[in-house]
């Protein structure tokens, strides 16, 4: 059976009902590609043992760092190194973002809150 093709933006629109609810798009070795819609504000957090990569598929986001924000538009990519405290947020309404990280990475890293998603759904 050939690999399954997926349009990530269309799948996000059809399957993701709330912001900051990452869904697994696919597994790549010990990592996962996860898709989420972003909302107005997320928790400050860090991933002590994992780097985290963000690719904006639709809209605009900012990732706040303690020394200032970085804004990303469609097609922009950034890697947040392990241990760096950050806080992603939307600039436009419900942007769609693809994240690359180890499968064991918790979305809120070292911060636990009502935004923590431990059991991810698949697209």
Tens-digit pLDDT profile for residues 47-64? 999 999 999 999 999 999
3-state secondary structure of 49: coil
pLDDT of residue 117: 74
Mean pLDDT of 86-108: 90
Sorted by where each begins, the domain ranges of the chain are 8-122
User: Which run of H or E residues covers position 14?
Assistant: helix 8-15
3-state secondary structure of 35: strand
pLDDT of residue 4: 87
Percent of the chain with pLDDT over 70: 93
CATH number 2.60.120.10 given to 8-122: yes
Residue 72, both tokens: 């990303």
Beta bridge partners of 78: 54
- Quick check: 109 pLDDT over 70? no
The answer, as to whether pTM is greater than 0.75, is yes
């Amino acid at each position: 059976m050939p690999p399954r093709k997926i349009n990530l933006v269309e799948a996000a629109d059809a399957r993701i009902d709330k912001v900051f609810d990452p869904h697994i798009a696919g597994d790549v070795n010990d990592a996962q590609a996860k898709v989420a819609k972003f909302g107005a504000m997320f928790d400050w957090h860090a991933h002590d043992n994992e780097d985290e990569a963000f690719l904006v598929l639709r809209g605009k986001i900012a990732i706040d760092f303690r020394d200032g924000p970085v804004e990303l538009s469609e097609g922009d990519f950034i890697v947040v190194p392990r241990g760096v405290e950050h806080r992603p947020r939307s600039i436009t309404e419900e942007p769609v973002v693809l994240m690359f990280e180890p499968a064991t990475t918790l979305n809120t890293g070292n911060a636990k809150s009502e935004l923590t998603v431990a059991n991810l759904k698949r697209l």
